[in-house]
Amino acid sequence: MEQGYEYRLSIEDLSEGVAILQESFDEDGKLNDFIFLQVNSAFEQLTGLFQKQIIGKKASDILTQLGFPVENWISLCNKERIKKEKIHFKHYFKPINRWLEIIAYFDHRNLLIIIFRIITPEKKEFEEISIPEKKEINQKLKSK
């Protein structure tokens, strides 16, 4: 069975972009990158990067094309992998002119699962809100 096949059955139906990556270690056993194993068609539409271009390639080589802070990402993933915690943040990808919400976690086989969701419309709406309204929204979010 093709590696990543069992995920393809479930991720292909998602509207969010999904990428599945495998850890890559240097000769000293230190995490130094990730290798793309699988992406869904929503990921392709979101980023303009297609499976044929990226499967088997290093994340550092691919994600830098999108303006993604790869060095910080690898360090963050390594810390979260050890703590077994989820990574959640928002980032503006200048080359594709989109804000994305990113959720990443390691599954039971230590594969990195990354979910990309477009939040550009939400960000634009928030930017159009007055400063006092932004403070009120932020306070409500903090109190939850």
Asked whether residue 35 carries a pLDDT value surpassing 90, the answer given is yes
Binned at pLDDT 50, 70 and 90, residue 73 comes out as confident
Round to whole Å and give the CA distance between 81 and 107. Answer: 10
Rounded to 5 degrees, φ, ψ at 128 are -80, -10
pLDDT in tens, 1-24: 455 555 555 778 788 999 999 999
Q: Is 4 strand, coil or helix?
A: coil
**Topology of the domain covering 5-143:** Beta-Lactamase (3.30.450)
Round to whole Å and give the CA distance between 22 and 109. Answer: 9
| Total-model pTM | 0.73
Q: What local confidence, expressed as pLDDT, does residue 1 receive?
A: 46
Domain ranges of the chain: 5-143
